[in-house]
Amino acid sequence: MRTDRTVRDLWYKDAIVYGLDVETFADGDGDGVGDFKGLTERLGYLAGLGVSCLWLMPFYPTPNRDNGYDITDYYDVDPRLGTLGDFVQFSHEAKGYGLRVVVDLVLNHTSDEHPWFQAARKDPKSPYRDWYVWAKKKPPHPEKGVVFPGVQKTIWTWDRAARAYYYHRFYDFQPDLNVTTPAVREEMQRIMGFWLQLGVSGFRVDAAPFLIESYGVPGHEKDDPFVHLKEMHDFLSWREGDAVMLAEANVGTDKLLDYFGDGDRMQLLYNFPVNQQLFLALVRGEAAPLVKALKELPPLPEAGQWATFLRNADEIDLGRLSDEERAEVYAACGPEKSMQLYDRGVRRRLAPMLNGDSRKIALAFSLLFSLPGTPIVYYGDELGMGDDLSLPERNSVRTPMQWSGEVNGGFSTAPRDKLVRPVISGGPYGYENLNVVWAQRDLDSTLNKVERLMRTYKQCPELGWGKWRTVEADSPAVLAHRSDWRNESILVVHNLGQSPCTVTLKDAAEEPTRVVELISDGAYQDILDTAHPILLEGYGYRWFRLAGKGRPD
Ligand code: GLC
């Protein structure tokens, strides 16, 4: 029985997170825009799927020029999506389903239409002036460090009213907040406190490395940026003991640990290094890139955890691959220029990146759930949804959820031209063929495979909690790894190649140990023990528990 305190307190260690944008998930009032009412009505689907935590992308008032990541009020819900009352109703009902909610915390920058920025630019004596980062003279190399190359030209933009340049890591309509100003940090805590009070279990910390940098603020060049993360952590734990922060920090492997500290900063960090190598490995049909990435991960403090993901609402960032490696992934997953973005990534969804090959998609999900960490699923990927490359930049992967074969894919009853974004229609990814209703009826659908993987993951706390290591396999196509926790062990093998193979594991266990198979991509004959050759179909996967006492729960 899992009754001890740590397991329950560190709930995120074996959670299943589902990331969604309220705007494109379900429209409850028929105006063409997803909303909290629609989302609340779909909680049964999410709970039934096996999800345990929702991550909501920004739903705050916004001019919506960067998918809501440009906020004008941190203490409200965008009127298109509902009211604060709707949020509380949603949060209450989510709790009833046993679902936790984590919300996006976008504090690196505001919208330029935010009243703070408007006050700051118009009056140099405004108390809000120091909330942003200004320079009287144009700083050198303002083109260096842009996040959206090809679309964004500079990180310093002249403001006529302020008679100064303001600093913005992202688009010019997203001025950076000045984290060195104490009042800004106080306000950040007030925002966190507000949403905690409304029932959330934590935050996805947007753009963490930029949030804490104090670049351009005179006198603060030598500040230790990580102090801010500790401050946020302490505040969070005083207010809500088990609340967490999931940080977006796409940094080099040598910098990852800085975000965890001694377990006193962020609890979860997206595993960007593994994400990039995972796709390289899938493209090559070889385990080596993934094995290398896994081996390079630093050991985490007890409270720390990796957040494993396949795709998210942005382009897949391949910026840390070598030019040749990136070219390989482009060639296989996004060969046309229109599929690539910002000189570093692919703006396609998971299924089209894997050529719609259902075996390969299932393999990717098996990796997602079994690799060390907490899995995050991006809405619609559990169906194998496609993308719409006619939409600009990253909007290609942000089309409405496909619920049924009814008009607008069941997303909304509004006339088609009123939809927030077109629903994908026609072809193999169109809602007519690909939707929740059909996928639930088809036992072989990606949705049903994902659901079974989730169920199995939930019965394997070793994967979220355990000490893991890769296992040596005598086939270059096979990734094998093992997780141990409290005298229980899970062993997982994946064949990244397209041809069937039989693999023998060299160091799966000290001596041949009997195994029980938990889940696989097909029907295999049982193997006797860890020394036994293991058959795997092309793109096959098999999860085993090493025989011991067996799990009572
Ligand atoms: C994060 C988000 C991205 C957004 C950016 C600026 O990277 O994932 O969508 O554009 O932050 O807030």
Q: Per-residue pLDDT tens for 298-341?
A: 999 999 999 999 999 999 999 999 999 999 999 999 999 999 99
Domain limits at 517? 467-546
- Angle (deg, nearest 10), helices 288-296 and 272-284: 160
Asked if 159 is an active-site residue, the reply is: no
User: Is 248 assigned a catalytic role?
Assistant: yes
Rg, the chain, Cα only: 23
The answer to whether residue 57 scores a pLDDT higher than 60 is yes
For 60-113, write each residue's pLDDT tens digit.
999 999 999 999 999 999 999 999 999 999 999 999 999 999 999 999 999 999
CB of 342 shorter than 6 A to ligand 1 = no
* CATH value at residue 500: 2.60.40.1180
Mutation to probe ligand 1, out of 60, 66, 378 (largest number of atoms < 8 A from CB): 66
Instruction: Give the rounded percent of residues in the chain with a pLDDT score beyond 90.
Output: 95
To the nearest 10°, report the CA torsion of 130, 136, 137, 141: 20
Q: Give the per-residue pLDDT at 80.
A: 98
Active-site option among 14, 86, 104, 248? 248
Band of pLDDT at residue 1, cut at 50, 70 and 90: very low
Mean pLDDT of the chain: 96
Say if strands 53-56 and 100-105 run parallel, antiparallel, or are unpaired.
parallel
- 335 and 471, same domain (yes or no): no
- Examine residue 184 and state whether it is found in any structural domain, yes or no: yes
Q: Length of the chain, please?
A: 553
* Positive or negative: CA dihedral 282, 283, 285, 291: negative
Pair (417, 347) in one structural domain: yes
Residue 206, ligand 1, Cβ within 6 A: yes
| Cα 48 to Cα 25: distance, rounded to the nearest angstrom | 16
Let me know if residue 3 belongs to a domain.
Answer: no
387: Cβ below 6 Å to ligand 1?
Answer: no
Written as six digits, the tokens of 187 are 């306000």
Q: Whose CA is nearest to atom 9 of ligand 1?
A: 314
| Residue 175 lies inside a defined structural domain of this protein | no
Position 221 scores a pLDDT of 84
> How many whole angstroms separate alpha carbon 185 and alpha carbon 193?
12
Q: What is the pLDDT of residue 6?
A: 65
* Neighbouring-strand partners of residue 529: 514
Structure tokens at 182: 């104490």
Cβ of 315 below 6 Å from ligand 1: no
Residue 318: give its domain's CATH number. Answer: 3.20.20.80
CA distance 459 to 104: 29
Average pLDDT on 381-400 reads: 98
Q: Tell me: the pLDDT tens digits for 283-306?
A: 999 999 999 999 999 999 999 999
> pLDDT confidence of 4, banded at 50, 70, 90?
low
Same structural domain, 88 and 149: no
Q: In this predicted structure, what is the pLDDT of residue 524?
A: 97
Cβ of 69 below 6 Å from ligand 1: yes
Whether 484 and 369 map to the same domain: the answer is no
Closest CA to 243 of 485, 47, 15, 71: 15
The confidence band for 222, taking pLDDT boundaries of 50, 70 and 90, is confident
The whole-number pLDDT of residue 5 equals 54
Question: What is the H or E stretch that residue 520 is in?
Answer: strand 515-520
**Residue 380 reports pLDDT greater than 90:** yes
- As a whole number of angstroms, the distance between CA 448 and CA 426 comes to 23
In a domain, 205, yes or no: yes
What is the DSSP code string of 503-519? E-BSSSSSS--BEEEEE
Residue among 234, 227, 226 at smallest CA distance from 257: 226
Q: What is the reported pLDDT for 522?
A: 95
Looking at 70, 78, 206, 488, which residue is catalytic? 206
Name the maximum alpha-carbon separation found in the chain. Answer: 76
The count of domains in the chain is 3
pTM: 0.97
Percentages of the chain per state (helix, strand, coil), in multiples of 5 = 35, 20, 50
For the beta sheet containing 340-341, the strands, ordered from the edge strand earlier in sequence to the opposite edge, are 316-317, 345-346, 340-341
Q: Which residue, among 18, 30, 19, has the nearest Cα to 80 in the 3D structure?
A: 30
Structural tokens at position 128: 């809000």
Mean pLDDT for 346-360 is: 98
**Residue 441 binned pLDDT confidence (cut-offs 50, 70, 90):** very high
- pLDDT tens for 164-201 read 999 999 999 999 999 999 999 999 999 999 999 999 99
Helix (H) or strand (E) holding 443: none
Q: Residue 19: pLDDT above 60?
A: yes
Asked if residue 170 has its Cβ within 6 Å of ligand 1, the reply is yes
Which residue among 167, 190, 210 closes a domain? Answer: 167
Q: How far is the CA of 301 from the centre of ligand 1 (A)?
A: 27
Which residue minimizes the CA distance to atom 7 of ligand 1? 207
Here the CATH number for the domain that contains residue 161 is: 3.90.400.10
Residue 309, domain member (yes or no) = yes
Confidence of residue 547 (pLDDT cuts 50, 70, 90): confident
Per-residue pLDDT, 207: 97
End residue of a domain, out of 456, 486, 506: 456
Closest CA to 332 of 349, 352, 312, 309: 352
Tell whether the model's pLDDT for residue 151 goes beyond 50.
yes
The domain boundary, picked from 408, 427, 456, lies at 456
- Beta carbon of 60 within 6 Å of any ligand 1 atom: no
Same domain? For 404 and 422 the reply is yes
Q: Return the DSSP state at 152.
A: B
The pLDDT of residue 216: 83
Using pLDDT thresholds of 50, 70 and 90, give the confidence band for residue 256. very high
pLDDT bracket for residue 551 (50, 70, 90): very low
Q: What is the dihedral of CA 537, 538, 539, 541, to 10 degrees?
A: 20
Assess if residue 284 is contained within a domain: yes
Q: Quickly tell me which residue has 């330029």 as its tokens.
A: 112
**Residue in 152, 246, 314, 342 to alter for ligand 1 test, most ligand atoms within 8 A of Cβ:** 314
Considering the domain architecture, whether residues 498 and 398 belong to the same structural domain is answered as no
Per-residue pLDDT for 11 more than 60?
A: yes
Crossing angle for the helix pair 272-284 and 358-370, nearest 10 degrees? 150
